[in-house]
Structure 1
Amino acid sequence: MGRILCAGLGPGDPDLISLRADRAIRGASHVAYFRKAGRAGQARRMVDGMLRPGVVELAMEYPVTTELPFDNPDYIRLLAGFYDGWADRLAALAADHEIVVLCEGDPFLYGSFMHLHSRLQGRAVVEVIPGIPGMAGCWNATGQPITWGDDVLTVLMGTLPEQDLVRHARAADALVIMKTGRNLPKVRRALSRAGRLEAAWLVERGTMPGQRIARLAEVDGADCPYFAIVIVHGQGRRPERSAAEAPE
């Protein structure tokens, strides 16, 4: 069997790509990456100038992105067919070539590559190079620790029902909400109901050109790009922390 290597690219800044991923990308003869139809693709933009001359590029264009709700049967059917088709194609190519698949953030943390990974088992040797998760780039961009002491970090999807967002936000110490985009008004309402809105930050395009950091309460609910994450920093679960445990 040939080899398919998925390179985690990190949060967006090319300087945060690991040395191992950098070597794999620069030496690749075949590079595959996800993108929305008609767009260059964020993963492809991140490696601009790194690919060697003559590299074969495989643009995996999603058949649908935000046009349908993620739980719509048609959405599920279209995406399943998309992943099935590309798994077949990559497995066939891997018989003769090593293929590097580009993936923003870390491939195993809500990454699209996971859907290919499960379909490629037994059909090719599949390896994954870890990447810095996008959320880590965002909370570092705020200049504040995301957790203290024994805080529990909760990661949510903005696509969840509002009541679920409220319930988790009330129980969370530190909170990250991904997949905001057009879900931002719902996220704002949920955090307000949970009493967490005033402590929430919106980080857009974290570590990328055009990065913006703003208090969520001061942002227009409709003003949110796809690459945006909501963050609520933890404050430490135990008020009685000892001096040795408390932040300096």
Structure 2
Amino acid sequence: MTGTLYGIGLGPGDPELLTLKAHRILQTVPVIAYPAPDGAPSLARSIAAPHLPGGQVELPIGLCMAVERAPGQGGYDAAAPEIAAHLQAGRDVAVLCEGDPFFYGSFLHLFARLGADFATEIVPGVSSVMAAAACARRPLVVRNDRFAVLPATLPDEALRAGIEAAESVAILKLGRHFARVKRLIAEMGLTNGALYAERVTQAGEQVRPLAETGDTAPYFALILLYKGREPAILGHDR
């Protein structure tokens, strides 16, 4: 029998936000794989570290964080056969993923390469969006509010349309797009309803009004924007 491929959602950074199921699998699985972008220390592994028993085979997945799609796929192309070899030998493999595996998660790329050939189980994780709302102590949506999740990589026209179509919006993947997105929100007259969150639940966490930020932001930052009329949310806006 072949092994099982697990996509393990680790949450946004706090090791205590793992599910009990994720913890159980990490304690027993013989092989773990995790992204290690551009040779830097792996955030995913650092989140899981307190829950690892030691002695497991570890497979770092070297990733090139490029804007274009093709260069970033090389790490997955190289990792997939190595993971497949362990699965074919009957060894379970847990792929560690920040946040949730199926919410802009790196595991998606391995699932596309291996999911059809091996038994696969997805363990959901807390997303950065939900964690940011909790850290900011501001609800995301209530009653009939519409909620949109938009990547900052979209052009201005698409971002504007997405913001206009919902009462509550989360804009992710800020990084080098932050100044442009911040300017667009100001042009739409929505700055006062926007919060900025950076590295939520991690060391260096910052949550503050968008109006109080500069023009730079890391990749692991997001904006929560509310333009609805629900007092249950507006009453907690600070």
Task: Output the TM-score relative to the length of structure 2.
Answer: 0.91
Q: Answer yes or no: is the 8 Å Cα contact 1:33–1:44 preserved in 2.
A: yes
Indicate the residue corresponding to 2:76 in structure 1: 83
The alignment yields a C-alpha RMSD, in angstroms, of 2.1
* Secondary structure class of the residue paired with 1:6: strand
The count of aligned residue pairs is 233
Contact 2:199 2:220 in 1 (8 A): yes
Map residues 133-152 of structure 1 onto 2, 5 A cutoff: 133-152=127-146
- Cα distance between partner residues in 1 of 2:52 and 2:178: 36
Describe the SS at the equivalent of 1:201: strand
Q: Which amino acid aligns with 2:78?
A: G
Contact 1:10 1:131 in 2 (8 A): yes
Bigger helix fraction: 2
1:187 is matched with which residue: 181, 187, 192?
181
Report how far residue 151 of structure 1 moved.
0.3
- Equivalent in the alignment of 1:3: 4
Runs of 4+ residues deviating >4 angstroms: none
Residue equivalent to 2:13: 12
Match of residue 39 from structure 2: 38
Q: CA deviation at 1:23?
A: 0.8
Q: Name the SS for the 1:48 alignment partner.
A: helix
8 Å CA contact 1:147–1:235 kept in 2: the answer is no
Q: How much does 1:236 deviate?
A: 4.1
Task: Indicate conservation of the 8 Å contact 2:27/2:51, yes or no.
Answer: yes
What are structure 1's unaligned runs of at least 5 residues?
A: none
Once the two structures are superposed, the pairs formed by residues 110-149 of structure 1 within 5 Å of their partners are 110-149=104-143
Deviation at 1:232, TM superposition (A): 1.1
Deviations 1:133-186 (A, max 9, x none): 111001111101111211000100010112221222233200100000111001
Report matched runs for 1:44-63 at 5 Å.
44-62=45-63
Unpaired stretches in structure 2, ≥5 consecutive residues: none
The 2-side partners of 1:190 and 1:247 are apart by 25
Q: Which amino acid aligns with 2:17?
A: L
> What is the match of residue 23 of structure 1?
24
- 2:169 is equivalent to residue 168 of structure 1: no
How has the CA–CA distance of structure 1 residues 203 and 138 changed in structure 2, closer, same or farther, with 3 Å as cutoff? same
TM-score under structure 1 length normalisation: 0.87
- Residue 221 of structure 2: aligned partner: 228
